[in-house]
Homo-oligomer: A and B are copies of this chain.
C-alpha cells in the first residue's frame, strides 16, 4: 500500500511528464524518473509510453539496477539503464531526465560549439556541459543507452555536473529534486536556443563563473521552483491542481 509520500511523488512525476512534453523538451521518446522518497534503492519511471500521455497508472517502480518490482506484463523503456546508472553513481540526485531537445543537438555534433550559460536562467545547467560520445567505447551502436555498461559510461561523463550531452542524440539533466531537474532541462533548451541565435552575430559574453554559481543557487531554491512549476502546470492545462 502506498504512503502519502509515494502518492505525492507519483502525482508530481506525472505532472513532470506532461510539463516536459508541453514545453517541447521531451518528444515521443524522452523520459523522467524520480527516486523513491522512502527507499534510496528504488526509483519511479513510466512504463514505455510517451510522456505526453503518461498517467499515474503508468508509473512503475524499479530496483536501482532497473529490475521492475512488479512488471505485470508492461513494456518498459529500454533506456532505463541510464536512470539506473546515474542513480547509482550520484546519491545526491533524486530525479533524472533524458531528452532530445532540438536546440541541444547542434552542440553535440559540431565539436567547436560550446554550450555555456548566456543568460541568467541558463546558469542552472552548469558552467560547462560535458559531451558523451558512444563511439570510442562502444563503436557503431543503435545510439541508445540500453544496457548498464553504456549507462555507467554516460554517468562517468556526467560526473558531478547537472547536465551531460550525448553525441547525435540529446542530453540528460539531473536534480536534487524533481522540480530542479525539470527547471534544468527546460532552461538548457532555452539557453541553447539563445547561444545559436547569438553566435552568427559575434562572440557573446557568457555569464562569469561567479554569476553562474550565484544565479543557479538562487534559481534552484524553493521559491523560483514553485513559481516556475505554477507556470508550467498552467500551460500544460493543470492550473489549480
Contact = CB atoms under 8 A, between A and B. Distances in A.
Given A168-B205, A204-B106, A205-B109, A143 B215 contact: yes
Given A102-B190, A119-B100, A234-B53, A110 B198 contact: yes
Interface stretch (A34-42, A86-94, A150-158, A225-233): A225-233
B201 A196 contact: yes
A5 B214 CA distance: 42
A105 B201 CA distance: 12
A96 interface: no
Interface of A: 27-29, 48-50, 52-53, 75, 100, 102-103, 105-106, 108-113, 117-121, 123, 135, 139-144, 167-170, 190, 193-194, 196-208, 210-211, 214-215, 217-218, 223-224, 227-228, 230-232, 234-235, 239
7 contacts: A28-B230, A29-B227, A29-B228, A102-B190, A140-B214, A141-B214, A143-B211
Top 7 nearest A-B pairs by Cβ distance? A140-B210, A50-B231, A120-B143, A28-B231, A106-B198, A109-B204, A110-B202
